[in-house]
Structure 1
Amino acid sequence: MNRLLVLETIIQMKSFTKAAEALGYTQSSVSQMVLGIEKEFGMQILKRSRNGVSLTAEGEALYPYIVQTLRTYQALQERAASLKGLETGMVRIGAITSVSCYWLPELFKKFQEKYPNIEFVLQQGDFGMILDWLKRGEIDFGLMTAEYGDGFNKVVLHETEMKAFLPSKHPLAKLDSVPIEKLACDPFILVEGGGYSEPMKAFEEAGVIPHVRYRIQDDYTIMAMVEAGLGVSILSELVASRTDFDVVAKSIEPKVTRPVAAVYRDKATLPIASQYFIDFLVENQKALQ
């Protein structure tokens, strides 16, 4: 099993040397373990290039099964640990920026007060990236909109309001709430959703077409662009709670919301630590403000 872990780490870091350092092995022993796997399967799995280490075509075909084997073994270890209490384990999460920045740090802290030896691996991405990570087994569950991702199980944790973000001196900034039709009059900065967009759905339902000038993945970059007067945007209310940008966030008419959910394949097959953390999120829904 250690050989498969070494192989996964090499792929993630694209380097034998970095993988050896991360896992506490010599580079020679790492190379020998990879050679052992390739000899066992009778094919070359890794190839080196100027861009680092990557999978061969045969390696690409085998890699999903390698990841699945590692996660199953991890679940076995954690299930054994759970019989004597959750003492160790790892929680792998994919989350959108607003959730990872404004909810997870405090939730990690509270969870580790009860289970101090649990480790977290957090990847930030858009909706499409999170679903890809779930399909490939790179994360245990995602924290994203419940409106996207057919075929996955979902537990809604919070109904987050999406707000109009405007330059502080914009004429619409004086309003208590902004009609969505008005947001279609300015250049629009669209947060990249990776296949799904609450703002675009809201515009469609209102029968208007926004003038999308920019498509940006990062909320902070969008707020900087709004501050600079490059356009207006619609973002989660969460990002307005901790910002020094000279922008205002206003409710939209009609109201636009995002149901934030824990999204996963089959909870029963998740590592025990991740099952516990999902239950913890459900128990702490009231704290998600």
Structure 2
Amino acid sequence: MDIKSWKIMLAVDDYGSFTRVGAELGYTQSGITQMMKNLEKKVGFPLYIKDHHGIRLTNEAKSLIPAIRTLLNADEVIHQEIAALNGAQRGTIRIGTYLSCSIHWIPKIIREFQQKHPDIIIQVIEGVEGELADWIQERRVDIGFISLQKNHKYQFLPVMDDPMYAVIPENDPLAKEAEIPIEVFEGAPFIITEYTPGSDVHRVLRKNKIHPDIRYVTRNEFSSLSMVEHELGYSILPGLLLRGQQGKFVKRPLKPTITRQLGLAYSSLEDLSPASKTFLEYAKNFLLDD
């Protein structure tokens, strides 16, 4: 059982499709199928199930995923350490990020970083609050651009306090107000992105004991903005995301002022590869100077 086989199994877990895995890793679908069958023979039990949803790993296979991620991370570190000893810096860095960060921060950071480190490959994966925290703990991503979560199990470098804003349809009477008391949302029609206990907006509502009438739950903040524009309800969104956005809505400061703390998260400094450590330091300095 070589590293290549484990990479394929991990990709099957991530993508749920042999076709997608083949496209990502440069193999044919039949090649992926054959390698998975060979791996099943070696481990002695089924690794995947095919159904109308696609491909998914068996429970036995899923139990191996944390160990496989640890193995592959260690393999990447070894290759990068060898490259560093030979006077080169190369490798792959997996970045997890919010939509707001991927719009305003990530492109600038990657462009300037890769001008100095052209042999380092950067993969960017977008997610929401709950997902990113899990991805960091599972080592699915090396570094996350995220907001600080309560009871977090990762290292966190704060870089910015990002204010949260009320987002109101432009023709709504509330649009005339200079700031919006948080109490206004009690029982009001509301649009929210990712309504989970770990989300920033959920934290804001819970802390202030506000119970809006949640009409729509979206996966994407731009979907929430569009619904506000069409007068389907109000929303609360972060300032970084709203930066430069225009439409048939207004953003107003909340009363009291509410912020989320944005920063760089990672499992531990010791577990980061040389390339990831270099990127972490570069991104931290970039954002603190921004």
Instruction: Give the TM-score normalised by the residue count of structure 1.
Output: 0.89
Once the two structures are superposed, residues 157-190 of structure 1 have per-residue CA deviations (whole angstroms, 9 ceiling, x without a partner) of: 1111111111112222222222222333631222
2:71 aligns with 69
CA distance in 2, matches of 1:28, 1:203: 50
> What amino acid does structure 2 have at the position aligned with 1:217?
R
Q: 1:236 aligns with which of 235, 238, 244?
A: 238
Mapping 1:68-217, distance limit 5 Å: 68-85=70-87, 87-184=89-186, 186-192=188-194, 194-217=196-219
Q: 1:281 aligns with which of 273, 280, 283?
A: 283
1:2 aligns with 4
Gaps of 5+ in 1: none
> What amino acid does structure 1 have at the position aligned with 2:104?
Y
CA distance in 2, matches of 1:5, 1:177: 51
> What amino acid does structure 2 have at the position aligned with 1:284?
F
How many residue pairs get matched?
288
> What amino acid does structure 2 have at the position aligned with 1:227?
E
Pairwise CA distance, 1:226: 0.7
Once the two structures are superposed, residues 190-245 of structure 1 have per-residue CA deviations (whole angstroms, 9 ceiling, x without a partner) of: 22253224334434444543333322231101111111111111101122223232
2:61 aligns with 59
> What amino acid does structure 2 have at the position aligned with 1:23?
L
> Secondary structure in 1 aligned to 2:63?
helix
Evaluate the alpha carbon distance shift between residue 195 and residue 79 of structure 1 in structure 2; reply closer, same or farther with a 3 A threshold. farther
CA distance in 2, matches of 1:20, 1:179: 52
> Secondary structure in 1 aligned to 2:191?
strand
Pairwise CA distance, 1:17: 4.2
1:225 aligns with 227
Evaluate the alpha carbon distance shift between residue 264 and residue 193 of structure 1 in structure 2; reply closer, same or farther with a 3 A threshold. farther
Evaluate the alpha carbon distance shift between residue 103 and residue 149 of structure 1 in structure 2; reply closer, same or farther with a 3 A threshold. farther
1:271 aligns with 273
Evaluate the alpha carbon distance shift between residue 80 and residue 148 of structure 1 in structure 2; reply closer, same or farther with a 3 A threshold. farther
> What amino acid does structure 2 have at the position aligned with 1:275?
K
Q: Is the 8 A contact 1:127 1:148 kept in 2?
A: no
CA distance in 1, matches of 2:198, 2:254: 19
CA distance in 1, matches of 2:217, 2:22: 39
Moved more, 259-268 or 209-218: 209-218
Q: Is the 8 A contact 2:160 2:263 kept in 1?
A: yes
Pairwise CA distance, 1:20: 3.4
> Secondary structure in 2 aligned to 1:39?
helix
CA distance in 1, matches of 2:178, 2:262: 25
> What amino acid does structure 2 have at the position aligned with 1:58?
E
> Secondary structure in 1 aligned to 2:250?
strand
1:38 aligns with 40
Evaluate the alpha carbon distance shift between residue 165 and residue 29 of structure 1 in structure 2; reply closer, same or farther with a 3 A threshold. closer
Q: 2:262 aligns with which of 242, 260, 263?
A: 260
CA distance in 2, matches of 1:20, 1:73: 21
